[in-house]
Structure 1
Amino acid sequence: MRRLVAACFTASLALTGCSTGGTSDPLQVTDQLVAATPATAPATTRAPAGTLLPTPAADHTAYDPDTHTLITAGGNTLTLTNPQNPAQPRTITLPSTPTALHTDRGTALVALPDSDQITRIDLRTGDTTPTTVPGGPTDAAPLPDGRTAVTLRTTKSVAILDGTRTTTTTPGFEDPAQLLTPGGDLHLLDRLTTALTPINTTNGDKGAGLRAGDGATNAVTDRYQRILTIDTRGQELLAFSVDPLIMKQRYPVPGAPYAIAYDPQRDLAWVTLTATNELVAYDIAGGEPQERHRLPTVRQPNSIAVDPHSGQVYVTSATGEGTQVVTA
């Protein structure tokens, strides 16, 4: 079986078909698909580096530099904190639990699959603007032309919205989990098939996809228009160039890497290790990642964000130990 899986993996890199049980997806090496998850972290044995903000347990963290707002999402509650004045956080109650959280120039965008909504939040006023999107939206990303790309859990597809109107739909995924827009182009990370796929936003066509390790979980884009992907199961950091989609780097990262954030000013990819409660920074400007920092974290560091201006890094505990603030 190991030889067959290895053969299929090699074939998938070349985008030729291979199957263990009748599946027609050339990027899928087994019919028993299980998405990778963060490791269950042990109790901490070292004090977390930096300082701690008293935020609730959260699965998602984002930072908006325009409003100096740290956002953590736990359950159906968003906690908005100004790290420079953390004594008076604000909270926003959502109709259900978000599966994705992003910020852009004073606005937060959350996906709420159990409510069939994506919601925009004005971080200055706290006003929310929901948009109904049938199909269980799990992620949303604005496109350069003003439209919005949305992943749909129920139909296992990606939809392009112009306001509230769907202009194109791309079906045929297993777990359309995360959208990425390097250079304005749209790519999808599918966690079940652990693959990246480009999508044509004009007609919805799928481009040639590529396997992303053994269990990809999270990804970001960098200023070189690459996609940096965490392979949690394979314990690697992967870098893909786009147009065409090609894997350029793969670097071992032991410790069950999970969350990733990118600092474009310092070319640092910050990665949390959930098996060891650690935070590692890699300089990714060269031909191979170079480790620059390794620090102890709060327990279960499942989410992370970075302030690109100050370089401060925010690591939030999923078990309620707060948000760690690190200045590298």
Structure 2
Amino acid sequence: MRVRTRWTAGLLAVAVTLTLTACGSDSDDGDSSSLDTLPVATAATSPTDTAKPAGTVVAQDAATAIAVAGSTTAVLGADGRTVTLHHGAGQDAPAPNRVALPIDGVVDLIALDDHFLAVGPRGLVRVDGDGRTSVADAPIDSPLSLAVDGDKVLVGTAKGKVLVLSAAGERIDEFGGFARVDDILVAPTSATDVEGQVSVFDRAQSAILPIDVESGDRKASLRAGNGATNAVVDRFGRIMVTGTRDDEFYAFFGDPIVMRLRHPAPASPFALAYDEKHDLLWVSSTAENEAVAYDLSRGDARERGRVPTVGQVTAMAVDPTSGDLLLASGRGDGLQVVAPTVIAS
């Protein structure tokens, strides 16, 4: 079933504001026991009888994260022990390089210039495009997410903490008081109005929670529906979130943040990817095995196209050079590559 689009751009009605004003520090972990939480939403199980995926599909084990650095796409295996490096997806592309990681339990992967950075319980792992790896030892209790803010590495945990580390893995600070830190969004330098803004995405609170990583101070925070699962920040500093339980997606922006957009999406929206060249937001639907592109260039959300996908899409990314949409399957259906020409003008 497809959701009929209804434009709700510019929605400024305030969502439920969270009263999170306590500061975190080395000596104050914050008390998360009294937080208003929800059961964490999960994606619907994908059907197996939908349309053939668009574009090209190459072999890839079940995956949890995907990132692009230069001409290389890295896919983190669901086993938490491998990263597969893809150097193209055509018939003439070289065979992928499956890299065994030097630590187990790796949970997140991001791109940094010409290499990748991953995190697990034993620390940070650098993965170069040629498959070489190195480890910065830093024991981390229950890591969930990873981001970089300037020369600082930010790690979110299932215990509701944001850890501030150096590139070498040295602990600089930590801030608690969240239910869990499923993602950390850092507004890029191109986001002139909110450059450097750091926000926590917490699935258990279904919320976006800005934080000052210098002091631990938390600013006014907003609910994101009743079962949000993923978030991404774009070049303007807008934070987009999938409302998986409510079949919606949201956009937040500003300091303090406000909800700028609330829009219906196909059933069980889950993974997100932002195409900065075309100002498109891609939203995957695990219930329908589809990905939908929304044009955000006017501040509203206009549907621009739909493509059939591999099953159980867990992560998406857009190659900033080619504009290709990359989709990773959480059940081992492969890595899907879709050229930008599929989007109608």
Secondary structure of 2:213's aligned partner: coil
The verdict on how the C-alpha distance between 1:164 and 1:318 changes in structure 2, with shifts beyond 3 A counting, is closer
Q: Which moved more, 1:302-311 or 1:158-167?
A: 158-167
| Matching residue within 211, 236, 240 for 2:223 | 211
**Does the 8 Å contact 1:168/1:203 carry over to 2?**
no
Instruction: Name the residue aligned to 1:134.
Output: 140
| Matching residue within 57, 69, 73 for 1:69 | 73
Post-superposition shift, 1:43?
0.9
Greater share of residues in strand: 1
The answer to whether residue 16 in structure 2 is matched with residue 13 in structure 1 is yes
Post-superposition shift, 1:139?
1.4
- Superposition pairs for residues 173-188 of structure 1, below 5 Å? 173-182=178-187, 183-188=195-200
**Does the 8 Å contact 1:265/1:308 carry over to 2?**
yes
Secondary structure of 1:59's aligned partner: strand
The answer to whether residue 271 in structure 2 is matched with residue 259 in structure 1 is yes
Aligned length: 304
| Matching residue within 111, 118, 121 for 2:119 | 111
**Does the 8 Å contact 2:19/2:220 carry over to 1?**
no
* Structure 2, unaligned runs of 5 or more: 1-12, 21-32, 188-194, 341-345
Instruction: Name the residue aligned to 1:191.
Output: 203
Instruction: Name the residue aligned to 2:87.
Output: 82
Post-superposition shift, 1:72?
4.0
Post-superposition shift, 1:15?
4.0
Instruction: Name the residue aligned to 1:283.
Output: 295
Post-superposition shift, 1:310?
1.2
Q: What TM-score do you get using the length of structure 1 for normalisation?
A: 0.86
The answer to whether residue 161 in structure 2 is matched with residue 151 in structure 1 is no
Q: Which moved more, 1:184-193 or 1:314-323?
A: 314-323
- Superposition pairs for residues 233-272 of structure 1, below 5 Å? 233-272=245-284
**Does the 8 Å contact 1:53/1:86 carry over to 2?**
no
What one-letter code is carried by the residue in structure 2 that aligns with 1:310? S
User: Aligned Cα RMSD in Å?
Assistant: 2.0
**Does the 8 Å contact 1:81/1:89 carry over to 2?**
yes
CA distance in 2, matches of 1:11, 1:286: 21
What one-letter code is carried by the residue in structure 2 that aligns with 1:138? L
CA distance in 2, matches of 1:70, 1:134: 23
CA distance in 1, matches of 2:249, 2:15: 19
**Does the 8 Å contact 2:50/2:288 carry over to 1?**
no
Secondary structure of 2:63's aligned partner: coil
CA distance in 2, matches of 1:139, 1:317: 19
Deviation per CA, 1:238-280, whole angstroms, max 9, x where unpaired? Answer: 1000311111101100210000011101101111100010011
Post-superposition shift, 1:87?
3.9
* Structure 1, unaligned runs of 5 or more: 1-9, 18-22
**Does the 8 Å contact 1:40/1:300 carry over to 2?**
yes
The answer to whether residue 134 in structure 2 is matched with residue 122 in structure 1 is no
CA distance in 2, matches of 1:12, 1:157: 24
**Does the 8 Å contact 1:298/1:317 carry over to 2?**
yes
Instruction: Name the residue aligned to 1:48.
Output: 53
Deviation per CA, 1:85-104, whole angstroms, max 9, x where unpaired? Answer: 54421112232233221112
CA distance in 2, matches of 1:171, 1:282: 35
Secondary structure of 2:105's aligned partner: coil
CA distance in 2, matches of 1:147, 1:122: 19
Q: RCO higher in 1 or 2 (8 Å CA, sep ≥ 6)?
A: 2
Post-superposition shift, 1:128?
2.3
Secondary structure of 1:88's aligned partner: coil
Post-superposition shift, 1:118?
2.3
Q: In percent, how many aligned pairs have the same letter? A: 35
Instruction: Name the residue aligned to 1:91.
Output: 98
